[in-house]
């Protein structure tokens, strides 16, 4: 974790000297961020991480001698450091490799720009991501689930589990989903803030690591038992009273996000408030806090991830600021709480 007021030390790892130079140039205007070193392959990255102790590592995936997956595994085993993967979203193998990095402890992914204008757009996003990760504490690879606190009695059968996450979300989502008994107690809808173009890769990776039926949501699809659906890029995801999914690419981003967690939770509060469990996981910002409060006030179950297990406690903290009585716990305990709630509502 970066001490308050100290510059954020960044290690840039990429086999392209040109890419490393561009990343360095993008960060040069940031007074609070300093590039402490560069590495051209995974072996160099592991050595540099040990020698330089950076606060954040920018990690490529396809490199000679040792790729980004192996390097991430080695770094997280020796000296856990927040890792931001930067890779192509156009090559399926690189997208898969990026999510393999998540399995090894990486926390965030950004798309490597494919034209000059996109690099300028990245100049806006990259420092914000680095600052968020600099305050992140990578959670342990294994964690003992704390007992789930008592939840309010359900008012009917559970029809939907709505989940939202941002920075550090993929590992938290995997831990949450993997903790459920099979079959799932209700369909799961996910809003994950992620670099555009990686949504399908997220769904594929979650399906692989959990064994569940995970896919991108489609407009008009009916909620089905055992399904896990991920909001596609640049579309709000909502649920209707009929139990169908609605994708909206016209409504502007809410709080800078499309898909928006607030949109998902609010739709559940309006369509099936007493039949929904809303879960807010790790992430930066405030998206989802107000929608989760609406869901709870409408009679739904509302839970957040606890600070100790979060990579970034921003979104759950925002929800707790609005309602300090929200139950907070690690991902596996969240799943147990939802299962207990669903079991109490079965007829």
- Which of the residues 60, 287, 306, 309 is marked catalytic? 287
Our answer to whether residue 287 is catalytic in this structure is yes
* pLDDT of residue 131 exceeding 50: yes
Q: Pick the residue with more confidence: 79 or 118?
A: 79
Containing H/E element for 123?
helix 116-134
Q: For residue 205, is pLDDT > 70? A: yes
Q: Provide the pLDDT for residue 310.
A: 95
Given a cut of 90, is residue 152 above it in pLDDT? no
268-301: pLDDT as tens digits: 999 999 999 999 999 999 999 999 999 999 999 9
- b/e burial code for range 4-42 (CB count within 10 A of at least 16 → b): eeeebbbbbbbbeeebbebbeebbeebeebebbbbbbbb
Enter the pTM of the model.
0.91
Of all residues in the chain, the percent with pLDDT exceeding 90 is 84
Domains along the chain with CATH numbers = 8-134 (3.40.50.2300), 160-344 (3.40.50.180)
**Whether pLDDT at 344 is above 70:** no
Name the token pair of 217: 């949501």
Which residue(s) pair with 111 in the sheet? 87
Report the pLDDT value the prediction gives residue 202, as an integer from 0 to 100: 97
User: DSSP string spanning 300-337?
Assistant: -EEEEE-GGG-SS-HHHHHHHHH-TTS-EE-HHHHHHH
> Which of 343, 346, 342, 316 is closest to 328 using CA atoms?
316
Catalytic residue among 14, 15, 60, 166: 166
**Range 39-53 average pLDDT:** 97
pLDDT of 347 reads 34
Catalytic residue at 60? Answer: no
pLDDT tens figures, 102-116: 999 999 999 998 887
Confidence (pLDDT) at 143: 43
pLDDT for 281: 98
- Candidates 14, 60, 193, 267; catalytic one: 193
To the query of whether residue 260 is one of the catalytic residues in this protein, the response is no
Residue range 13-34, pLDDT digits in tens:
999 999 999 999 999 999 999 9
């Amino acid at each position: 974790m970066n001490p308050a007021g100290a510059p954020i030390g960044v290690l840039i790892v990429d086999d392209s000297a040109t890419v490393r130079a561009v990343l360095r140039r993008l960060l040069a205007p940031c007074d609070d961020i300093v590039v402490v070193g560069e590495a051209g392959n995974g072996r160099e990255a592991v050595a540099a991480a040990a020698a330089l102790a950076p606060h954040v590592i920018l990690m490529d995936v396809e490199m000679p001698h040792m790729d980004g997956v192996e390097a991430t595994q080695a770094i997280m085993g020796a000296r856990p450091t927040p890792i931001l993967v930067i890779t192509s979203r156009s090559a399926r193998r690189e997208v898969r490799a990026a999510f393999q990095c998540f399995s090894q402890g990486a926390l965030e992914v950004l798309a490597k720009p494919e034209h000059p204008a996109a690099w300028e757009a990245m100049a806006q996003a990259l420092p914000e991501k680095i600052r968020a990760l600099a305050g992140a504490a990578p959670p342990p690879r294994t964690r003992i689930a704390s007992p789930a606190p008592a939840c309010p009695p359900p008012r009917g059968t559970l029809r939907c589990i709505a989940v939202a996450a941002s920075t550090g979300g993929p590992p938290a989502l995997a831990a949450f989903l993997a903790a459920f008994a099979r079959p799932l107690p209700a369909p799961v809808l996910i809003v994950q803030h992620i670099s555009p173009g990686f949504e399908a890769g997220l769904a594929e990776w979650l399906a692989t690591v959990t064994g569940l039926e995970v896919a991108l949501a489609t407009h008009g699809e009916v909620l089905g038992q055992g399904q896990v659906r991920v909001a596609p890029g640049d579309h709000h995801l909502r649920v209707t009273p009929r139990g169908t999914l609605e994708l909206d690419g016209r409504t502007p981003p809410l709080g800078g996000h499309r898909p928006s967690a607030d949109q998902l939770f609010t739709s559940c509060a309006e369509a099936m408030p007493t039949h929904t469990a809303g879960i807010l996981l790790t992430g930066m910002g405030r998206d989802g806090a107000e929608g989760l409060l609406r869901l709870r006030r409408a009679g739904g179950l509302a839970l957040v991830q606890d600070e100790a297990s979060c990579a970034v406690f921003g979104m759950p903290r925002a929800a707790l600021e609005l309602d300090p009585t929200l139950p907070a716990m690690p991902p596996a305990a969240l799943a147990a709480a939802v299962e207990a709630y669903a079991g109490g509502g079965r007829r």
